[in-house]
């Protein structure tokens, strides 16, 4: 059985070459508030724009760093021109495997737009037929000199269980 279409695309990409750049994504206060609610984190630097403007160093509220990080999957799909699909059931699947390195470089002000820039750094297959891919990631903030995030992100493709 061949790999799933997304995995075929990732396998065909050369190492150290740019995978792609995502579309811009708006990070508005509603998204930040929803993330704070979902993670049960009421930090006013993020969810209270008036408090953040009066008490914080950024002139207003900023996105949670983990919110920015959590958008990596969406941004990578955008960069690759793919999307998760139920129609690929039984063709294997991807799992987030962690990070070799992750840094939150600059805050993302509420109302900003971000995009992801991805490079395929490494790829290796293990004895179980899984592919571990390391993506170099940079999340840019529109109009900013510094990125919001830089990371080496590990993604594990697990082949279908009925491949035998």
Contact 76, 6 (CB under 8 A): no
Could you list the residue range(s) of the whole structural domain that residue 93 is in? 5-158
Question: Is residue 2 very low, low, confident or very high in pLDDT (cuts 50, 70, 90)?
Answer: very low
d(CA 65, CA 106): 9
Burial (CB < 10 A; 0-12, 13-18, 19+), residue 16, is exposed
DSSP class of 59? S
DSSP assignments along 104-155, one per residue: E-S--BTTEEEEEEEEEEEEEE-TTS-EEEEEEEEEEETT-SS-SEEEEEEE
- Taking only the tens place, the pLDDT of each residue in 69-127 is 999 999 999 998 887 666 656 677 889 999 999 999 999 999 999 999 999 999 999 99
d(CA 92, CA 8): 11
Q: In total, how many domains does the chain have?
A: 1
Query: Is residue 79, in this structure, part of any structural domain at all?
Result: yes
Query: Is residue 20, in this structure, part of any structural domain at all?
Result: yes
Query: Is residue 164, in this structure, part of any structural domain at all?
Result: no
- Taking only the tens place, the pLDDT of each residue in 16-32 is 889 999 999 999 999 99
CATH number at residue 71: 3.10.129.10
Query: Is residue 163, in this structure, part of any structural domain at all?
Result: no
Query: Is residue 107, in this structure, part of any structural domain at all?
Result: yes
Query: Is residue 146, in this structure, part of any structural domain at all?
Result: yes
């Amino acid at each position: 059985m061949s790999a799933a279409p997304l995995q075929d695309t990732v396998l065909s990409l050369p190492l150290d070459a740019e995978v792609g750049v995502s579309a811009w994504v708006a990070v508005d206060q509603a998204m930040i508030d929803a993330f704070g609610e979902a993670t049960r984190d009421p930090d006013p630097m993020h969810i209270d724009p008036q408090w953040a403007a009066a008490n914080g160093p950024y002139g207003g509220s900023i996105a949670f760093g983990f919110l920015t990080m959590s958008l990596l999957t969406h941004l990578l799909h955008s960069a690759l021109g793919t999307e998760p699909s139920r129609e690929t059931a039984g063709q294997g699947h991807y799992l987030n495997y962690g990070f070799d390195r992750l840094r939150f470089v600059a805050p993302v002000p509420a109302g900003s737009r971000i995009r992801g820039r991805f490079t395929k750094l490494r790829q290796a297959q293990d004895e179980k037929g899984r592919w571990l891919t390391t993506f170099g990631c940079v999340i840019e903030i529109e109009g900013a000199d510094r990125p919001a995030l830089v990371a080496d992100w590990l993604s594990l493709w697990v082949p279908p269980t009925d491949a035998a």
